[in-house]
Structure formats: C-alpha cells, structure tokens
A and B are shown apart, each in its own frame.
Chain A
Amino acid sequence: MASRAVEVAVGVPALAPERAVTWPKRTKTHLSNGLELILAEAHSIPKFHGELFFRSGNAAVADRAPGLAEMAATVARTGTKQRASRQIEEDLRRIGADLSSGAGADTSAISFSGLSEFAEPLLGLVNELAREAAFPEAEFERERRQKLEEVKLQRTEPGFLASERLRKVLFGAHPYGQVSPSEAQVAAYRRDDLLAVYREFYTPQNGILLLVGDFEAQEMLKTAEKVFGAWSGKKPDSSAAAAPANPRGRRAYLVHSPGAVQTQILAGCHAITRKHPDWVKLGLTNSLYGGAFNSRLVMNIREDKGYTYSPRSGVTALRQHGYFSVSAAVRNDVVAASLTEIFYEMDKLRSVPVPEAELADAQNYLTGVFSMGLATQDGLLSQFSTVALNELPEDYLETYRQKVRALTPEDLLAAARKYLDSANMQVVVVGDRAQIEEQAALFGELEVFDAQGNVLT
C-alpha cells in the first residue's frame, strides 16, 4: 500500500483510574402462567421501556409464506376485541407512550415505552394486543396493500438488494435465505394465515417480558402478575430447518441497477451464533478489521484512499446460524480496488499476528463501548434482551469485559483464519452493470441479476 506514515500525537493526557462498571440487579422470574419476566430498575428519567418477546419469528413459518410473522405483528396492533385502531393510537398518546410491533427471523415482539405514572394502563394495552388482537378485515386489507408498496420500494434500495442477494447465496432454501416476501406472496396473504400464526406464537409459555426503568421492582412484579396473570397458552411446536450448505469457493453476484452512480459492495461468509464459545474472539477480530472507526479497513479505504464514506464489517447472529459480512458503498471506478483492499486486510489478519499495542487499543474500545449501554433505559433493555433471547449465561454482562481483555494475538489469528474466510467469501455488488461487471468478475465466477431477482445473461 502506498499509504503515508502514521504520525503519533504528542502530550496526550494519560487515562485516569477506571470507575467500576456495575450492571443493575435483574429480577428474573416466571409468572404463574409460564411467562418469563425480567425486571431492572433504572431511574434516569420518569419513564420505562419494555419488550414482550415471543421466541418464534418469520423463519418458523417460512414454509407457509415469507414474512408471515412480520405481517401478523403489523396487523395485531390495528384492533382488539375492545378497541378499534384509532382508539388504540389515541389511548397510547393519552398516556405518553410509544409502541411498535414486528418480527425478525427468530422472534416476534411488541416494544413499548411510556411514562412511569401510566405503567399499568400501558401494560394493559400490551396484554390486550398480545391476547385479544381481532385482525379486523379492513385493517388487514389496508396493511397488506401498504406492505405491497413497501416491498416494491425495497427493490429500489441498493442496501436491500445487496443483503437480499447475500442471504440467498449464504442460506439457499433455508428460511434465513429469504429476507422479504415477493409482491405475489404478499398478495396471497390471507387473514386466516395471520390469525393462525398469532394464536401459535403469542402465548405466555413462548414469551419473555422485559421491563427496565423508573419503577420499584417488587411493585412492578405485582402489576405484571395482575395484568398478564390470567393469560394462558402453550409453547408452539418447533423444529429447526435442515442446515444450509456452506458455499465453497469465492463467487461474485452482480445486481444490475441501471443508472446507479455508486456501487454497493456486500461480501459475506458463514460464521457463528451468539452462543458459540468463539463469539467474543470473533467480536474483537471484527472490531479490529472493520467494526470500529479506527479499524484497519476504515483507515485504509476511507481515510487513506477516499473510496467510500461508510465501510464497515459485522457479525450477524441468528438463532441457528451466523454470518460475517463487510460492506462499502464505493465510487464506480474503484470497485475492484476496494475489493482488493477488503481481501488484503482480511488476509493480513489471517497471516500476521496483531501487534500487542493494537490489540490493547481494540480491547479498550470494545470494553468501553460495551458500558455505554448502562447509561440509558433502552441501552439496558437491549443488553438484557440479548442475554435472554440467546440464552447466554446469567453473568454474561458481568464477565464480558474480562473475556475481551484475556484474548491474545494468537486467539485473533485463529479467529481470523476460521471466520474471515476470504477464500470462500460470497461477493455481492449492486450497481450499473456496464460500469462494474468486468471489475466484479475479477473476484470469482460471476452471475448477474436484475432487481427482481431474474438472472440476466
């Protein structure tokens, strides 16, 4: 690389002694009906945040139709036996609350926040949405039409087209291979299909209720029992889909976007789930590679070469499988140059042990940023939900920083060799074919698609 030498700063103040990082106490219990409940007090503002999760999402019903759990969650908020759509929205405003419902691959969730003084009415509404959603016909029809426009619009977004193609390539026929329904699939949704999903998924034995905020835990526990106690229902049957094949050999996929003035690069390979013992190792390796502002990839293709604004890498952990990916939106004439650097930095981490000083910097980064979650109610909620949903050990938050600090250059070399699988990366580029096809073809056998997913010859 023809990069210039990095100069050092002069006269930088030393770090003061660290203040202890203490995670608030969690109260973890089950209500009499089997609903798992996790509570934590956080008194920063007179509000609270909550999430009611169900351990089933789009993947569990992908054989019926893609996105069915998401659609069920969307329509579930539009009416209950007691309240029509407009009433629900006004009642939320009346108590200063926000609420959303949705589903990912592995979970469905109702997320909410509101003023502590109105905790009981908000929980009451959440309970109603989880138990007595009415799926009114007219609301269903409208939301389906909305979804139809949404899925059409997605196909004009480079970021969506890239991630859709990568997931197809990495997971094939496995439910994780399909990130969104087609227009035809949305048009074929039926109200009864949504109701069936709702009845199967939204049960206390399949649920976890997380509450974080300005309340007294014992009081909140009583309120939760009072509000949710009478609900009943079993855990749905579930069976994991057959493992997807791990694609071998580097290949390239071009999604043609006529007139694009930039190219979205997204490359990825199979990695691990959150529960895997290598998770922390891979997390630190990723942060060094492209997961932080001062990571090698950002310094190379942004700060040194100016190819892109926001390059980054990350590990996406789904329940059954995970994948590592790297993305950058780059100038059309530097697609090959950017990919060359993307692979150069991966291969360097796979061949040369990380210098001790750089390792220490990365360890400080990851452990420091981890404690930012302590400062806000929703930051805490997100950490607690990660632990609960991934069934991580109870002391995960308390021991994470030690685990990061214990890692050595050899650990990172091993993690890079295993998971920054440069020889088997699947390379997706979204852009104008005429400007980038030759560049993309340098990185593997090339297939070309249009935005609808049709193969172009």
Chain B
Amino acid sequence: MKPLRVGVESTKLANGLDVVVAPDTTAPVVTVGVYYKIGFRLEPQGRSGFAHLFEHMMFQGSANAPKMQHIKLVNSSGGLLNGSTSYDVTNYYEAVPSNALERVLWLEADRMRALKVDDENLKNQRDVVKEEVRVNVMNEPYGGFPWLDMPPVAFRNWANAHNFYGDFADLDAAHLDDVQAFFKTYYVPNNAVVLMLGDVKAEEGMALAKKYFGDIPAGAPPPFADPSEPEQTQERRGHVEEKFGTLPAMAIGYVVPKRRTVDWCAMALLDEALHGGRAGRMYRELVLEKQIAVEAGGGISDLFGYNGPTQMTTRILHKPEYASQATLDAFDAVIRDVRENGISADELEQLKVKWRSDYYATLEGGRGGYMPKYGLMHLLACFTLFDDQPQLVNTILDGFLAVTREEIQAAANKYLRNEKRAIVFRTPVKASAPASAGEKEAA
C-alpha cells in the first residue's frame, strides 16, 4: 500500500479570509475555488430557494466586471467556471490554464468586494432558475426524488425540512434588497475560503491572495441559526405522486452520526457495505438475488460536505408486481441481517480497500468529467470551513481504515432503527402493467 500525501499550505489573512494552496505541476492548469459558509439550509424563512437563486446572481455582475463579463473573461482565458449550492456551503470555481490565475483571482475578489446587480438581472435569473427546476424536477420522471421529497418528511426544523430549490411563490417574492442583504451578511471574507490547486507555487498563491483579497473589509460574524433536530422517536412516512414514471418507488433515510466521530467512520463503511455498487448488499439482495427492484442504491451523499443533520438514504424503484410492503420487507431483511450478524472480516477488508481507492479517485477527480481537482478542492474547503484543519485531507482516511467489525455492528444497531428513519413513497399516477399477472410476495 502506497500512501498518498497531498502538499497543502494554508493561512488566514487579517480580514479573516482563509487561503489554501495545493501545488501540483502535473498539468499547466490551475483550479480556483471560493467557498462561502452558507448554503440552502440556513437561507431566510419565507425565501425558500434563495441561496441558490443568489448563487446565480453572483454571475450577474460586480463593481468592475459587469453582467456577462465573469463568464466571458473566464471562457476567453481558456477556462471553465460554475458554481453550486448545497446544504452548508456555496461554491464558485474556475479551472483555467495557469497563466490566467491572476485574472481569475481578480474576478473572484471583485465579486466578494461588491456585487453590482439590478432588477433586470434578478428577473432574468429568476426565469432561468424556474427552467432549471422544471428541467431537473417538475418535468423529469422521479425528479427531485428523494433529495427534495425526503426533507419535509424526515425533519422538523425548517432549516432542514424546507424546499431547497424553492417554491415559485418564494422565488417571485425575492427582492433586490434581499440579494444585497444576503450578500452583506454571509459573503464576507471572514466567512469564506479561497483555494488554488494545481500549477501554482505556494508562496505565489499566498502573495496573490493577499494582493487581491487582502483589503476587502471583514464583516460582522454571520449569524447561524441552530439546525439541530428534536429527538425522533417514531418512524415518519410521506407520499408523493409520480407524474411521469411508471415504476413505484420508495426512499428510506436514517440520520447519520455527527461528523468526525468513530460512529461516523463506522457508518461510512456500513454505507459502503450496503450501497457500494453491485457488490453492495442492497443491490445484491433487491436487484440481483430477489429481483424485486430495478434500482436500489444511494447512501450518504457528500459525506464530507455537510455540517448539520443529514441522512443515509436508499432509493428503490421496484417492479410493479411487488407491493410496497413486500419491497420494504425485503429492504428490512437486509438491515436486520447486518444488525444481527454484522459483517465478516473478509467483507470489511474488501470495503476498506475500495474505500481507499475511492478516496484517491475523489482527490484527483473532476466534476462531471471536467474541472480538474474538484474533489480535492471540495474536501479542503470543507475541512477548512467546518474544522479549521485543511491538513485533514492527509489523515482523515486513517479513521476509516481503523474501523472494526464490532464498531460497524454497533453503528448498525444504534442508527438503523425504525424509530430513527423516514420513508417516502413515490407512487406513479399511471401504474405500469405488471409483466406477469398478480401481485407477488417477496421471498
């Protein structure tokens, strides 16, 4: 086994901005990321979907780079750019030939310093976001299942339970004042990290960060609402109509332990045991062996990237000749087995090798086949913003590789309990004709 060590240097500027540089001269390309520690979880009440709409506004113009200029300047430097909003962070990133590094930092600093947008920009991006929601959710079979369907069923705190893409009425209610207020509150240097990965020297990156971001004034520490959930004592269930698809579906979610604990490491390997592709117990039992389901997968999405309640979720699309209850019984049998019998030493060994291999792939990997080092960027950003320890990228693996069989079985018994879970059934309006007559009981 060959250990992998990522060279990382970090500092905090006087205005509170974190800077992380991970030099690597493999290719003449540098990836730049700016992460703000605010996601859709803590967006303002009555403004569901606002954090994401706001992310779009960050491309609409800043003091010295008006509308379309951010996109034009990055593309015409030979680079790609995008942004994304998740539960607890929002990111903006560019991958460019390394000769454009300074230009990209200038652009990011310009929009951290002063957003310059108007009503016309807001109306334009509100329309764009509505089409985004239609194409990904409302006009797509199983759109938003279960990532939008599950939160209102599973959680009680508005922060965790609301519609993250946004109700259209809330999107319509969003005003330019909301945009500027959100910017002033959360988009301050002391709530952000700037990352440079790839073809840049550490000292050069640090100097450039200071040059472009150093004089942006710090803001008041942003307020953070408490995202914690009241103790759950009963299984929760919800139902959603499926307008296009023909297969009945369900998702079962269990709340995940607090990050960076022994339980959390054990749960991550348990997740791999259950949802690790075709070798995972869910796919093997429900799709390959019992042949009840057409799809059975899922898990903890973005293990390192959340900073509040989250779930391990199994998503199942099953054959219409099996009733929901029969399908759930088959799912429960998989859970019961791991709770009662744990996993074998051989299985644990396999899981650890696969976990290590996947971790390396994450470090190198891009996003959707482009944007080199997206994975490393994301890990470094989250370890900086949530833990103030970017170097965790080189040590976090150890905790997963040290997990024991006993810890995995203990985690299964502690967290995979009916009273700690939520289930969403997504039921087709038009039922598909079963391939053979009659409903079956799962074996």
- A303 and B68 within 8 A (CB): yes
- Give CA–CA (A367, B73) in the complex, Å: 15
**Neighbour of B103 across the interface among A15, A149, A260, A293, CB < 8 A:** A15
| Minimum CB distance partner of B289 in chain A | A86
Write out the residue numbers on chain A whose beta carbons fall within 8 Å of the beta carbon of B101: 16
- Give CA–CA (A260, B125) in the complex, Å: 22
Segment at the interface with B among A109-117, A125-133, A244-252, A406-414:
A109-117
* B29-70 near A? 1/0 per residue, CB < 8 Å: 100000000000000000000000000000000001111110
Write out the residue numbers on chain A whose beta carbons fall within 8 Å of the beta carbon of B243: 259
Given A153-B141, A306-B128, A368 and B77 contact (CB-CB distance below 8 Å): yes
- Give CA–CA (A303, B70) in the complex, Å: 12
- A157 and B99 within 8 A (CB): no
Segment at the interface with B among A39-47, A202-210, A270-278:
A39-47
- A152 and B246 within 8 A (CB): yes
Q: Within 8 Å of chain B (Cβ to Cβ): is A168? A: no
**Neighbour of B140 across the interface among A7, A46, A158, A369, CB < 8 A:** A158
Given A306-B124, A368-B97, A145 and B291 contact (CB-CB distance below 8 Å): yes
Write out the residue numbers on chain B whose beta carbons fall within 8 Å of the beta carbon of A305: 124
Q: Within 8 Å of chain A (Cβ to Cβ): is B185? A: no
- Give CA–CA (A115, B361) in the complex, Å: 10
**Neighbour of B131 across the interface among A44, A116, A307, CB < 8 A:** A307
Write out the residue numbers on chain B whose beta carbons fall within 8 Å of the beta carbon of A158: 139-140
- B354 and A19 within 8 A (CB): no
Write out the residue numbers on chain B whose beta carbons fall within 8 Å of the beta carbon of A306: 123-128, 131
- A376 and B366 within 8 A (CB): yes
**Neighbour of A19 across the interface among B73, B120, B199, CB < 8 A:** B199
**Neighbour of B139 across the interface among A4, A89, A261, CB < 8 A:** A261
* A99-138 near B? 1/0 per residue, CB < 8 Å: 0000000000000011111000000000000000000000
A226-285 with Cβ < 8 A to chain B: 257, 259-262
| Minimum CB distance partner of A304 in chain B | B124
- A92 and B291 within 8 A (CB): no
A3-50 with Cβ < 8 A to chain B: 4, 6-21, 42, 44-47
B67-84 with Cβ < 8 A to chain A: 67-69, 71-73, 75-81
Segment at the interface with A among B272-280, B329-337, B378-386:
B272-280
- B124 and A371 within 8 A (CB): no
- B294 and A150 within 8 A (CB): yes
- B131 and A375 within 8 A (CB): no
Segment at the interface with A among B223-231, B345-353, B410-418:
B345-353
Interface residue range, chain B: 35 or more
Given A46-B360, A262-B131, A371 and B125 contact (CB-CB distance below 8 Å): no
Q: Within 8 Å of chain A (Cβ to Cβ): is B395? A: no
Write out the residue numbers on chain B whose beta carbons fall within 8 Å of the beta carbon of A117: 1-2
- A6 and B68 within 8 A (CB): yes
For the complex formed, measure the closest distance between the CB of B167 and the CB atoms of chain A, giving whole angstroms.
15
- B99 and A115 within 8 A (CB): no
Q: Within 8 Å of chain B (Cβ to Cβ): is A96? A: yes
Given A11-B64, A293-B71, A310-B135, A89 and B277 contact (CB-CB distance below 8 Å): yes
Q: Within 8 Å of chain A (Cβ to Cβ): is B372? A: yes
For the complex formed, measure the closest distance between the CB of A221 and the CB atoms of chain B, giving whole angstroms.
21
Given A19-B98, A367-B78, A261 and B134 contact (CB-CB distance below 8 Å): yes
Q: Within 8 Å of chain A (Cβ to Cβ): is B435? A: yes
Given A92-B279, A262-B139, A329-B134, A372 and B128 contact (CB-CB distance below 8 Å): no
For the complex formed, measure the closest distance between the CB of B418 and the CB atoms of chain A, giving whole angstroms.
29
Write out the residue numbers on chain A whose beta carbons fall within 8 Å of the beta carbon of B246: 152-153, 156
Q: Within 8 Å of chain B (Cβ to Cβ): is A93? A: yes
- B127 and A85 within 8 A (CB): no
**Neighbour of A156 across the interface among B28, B72, B245, B284, CB < 8 A:** B245
- B72 and A294 within 8 A (CB): yes
- A115 and B357 within 8 A (CB): yes
- A307 and B127 within 8 A (CB): yes
B358-375 with Cβ < 8 A to chain A: 358, 360-361, 363-366, 369-373
| Minimum CB distance partner of A311 in chain B | B131
* A305-329 near B? 1/0 per residue, CB < 8 Å: 1111110000000000000000001
Q: Within 8 Å of chain B (Cβ to Cβ): is A142? A: yes
Q: Within 8 Å of chain B (Cβ to Cβ): is A216? A: no
Given A45-B364, A261-B134, A310-B135, A374 and B26 contact (CB-CB distance below 8 Å): yes
Q: Within 8 Å of chain B (Cβ to Cβ): is A330? A: yes
| Minimum CB distance partner of A95 in chain B | B353
**Neighbour of B97 across the interface among A44, A96, A113, A371, CB < 8 A:** A371
For the complex formed, measure the closest distance between the CB of A292 and the CB atoms of chain B, giving whole angstroms.
5
**Neighbour of A294 across the interface among B71, B247, B350, B360, CB < 8 A:** B71
B86-124 with Cβ < 8 A to chain A: 95-103, 106, 120, 123-124
B residues whose Cβ falls under 8 Å from a Cβ of A:
1-2, 4, 24, 26-29, 64-69, 71-73, 75-81, 95-103, 106, 120, 123-132, 134-135, 138-141, 198-199, 243-247, 276-279, 284, 287-288, 291, 294, 317, 319, 349-351, 353-354, 356-358, 360-361, 363-366, 369-373, 432, 435
* Given pairs A360-B76, A375-B372, 8 additional interface contacts (CB within 8 A): A12-B106, A89-B284, A93-B279, A156-B141, A259-B243, A294-B76, A303-B124, A376-B364
Q: List 15 A-B contacts (CB under 8 A).
A: A16-B102, A45-B360, A47-B357, A113-B361, A117-B2, A148-B435, A152-B432, A157-B140, A261-B134, A293-B80, A303-B67, A329-B134, A361-B75, A361-B76, A365-B79
Closest 4 CB pairs between A and B?
A368-B78, A96-B357, A306-B127, A361-B76
